[in-house]
Amino acid sequence: MSKATEHHGEMTENRRPHSRIEGARDGVDDALVGLLCENARLTLTALAHRLNLSRTAVQARMARLERDGVILGYQAVVAPPRSMDGGETLEAILSLTFSRRPCAPVVATFRHWPEIDRYYSVTGPVDGYAVVRVASPAALSALVDRFSGVEGVDAVRCAVVLKSA
């Protein structure tokens, strides 16, 4: 909203200053996103206190960040599943090379397997990476054999995860 006023015989336009450009992020937005990344369960009151803002201001910023696609969602970080005997599971990264194009039908044959935690289609000499979790080395060996038997999978290489940060 603007209105014209006369100042010393000149017409000038008074505009309400915009504190932010629509869609632009500032340091407070970055701090808010950082707090939510550390703990998405913080209440609006706790966020407002840490950011020195009102609850309403925090809620409005969160709504805008969601609308602008900066905040895509909130999630629980779940501990890796344990094996049937209560021990830790074995995590591995499988690199896959396909002999068939397009790759999507090949991936569709195994994407739903419960051992697959994440799958990435990539460029380069390898067509994809599957991050898998299994109960034992024997289960990992069987899973590699299962992948090798999928029509269109040319090669499977396996790297066991020793430590994750």
Tens of pLDDT, residue by residue over 63-77, are 999 999 999 988 877
CATH of domain 2-67: 1.10.10.10
Q: List C-alpha distances in Å: 143 to 65, 106, 148.
A: 41, 16, 9
Residue labelled with tokens 């995590």 = 91
Assess whether pLDDT exceeds 60 at residue 1.
no
Whether the per-residue pLDDT at 155 is higher than 80: the answer is yes
The amino acid occupying position 14 is: N
CA distance 107 to 93: 16
Q: How confident is the model at residue 163 (pLDDT cuts 50, 70, 90)?
A: confident
The ranges of the chain annotated as CATH 3.30.70.920 are 90-160
- Predicted TM-score (pTM) of the model is 0.53
For CATH 1.10.10.10, the residue range(s) in the chain are 2-67
Assign a CATH topology to domain 90-160: Alpha-Beta Plaits (3.30.70)
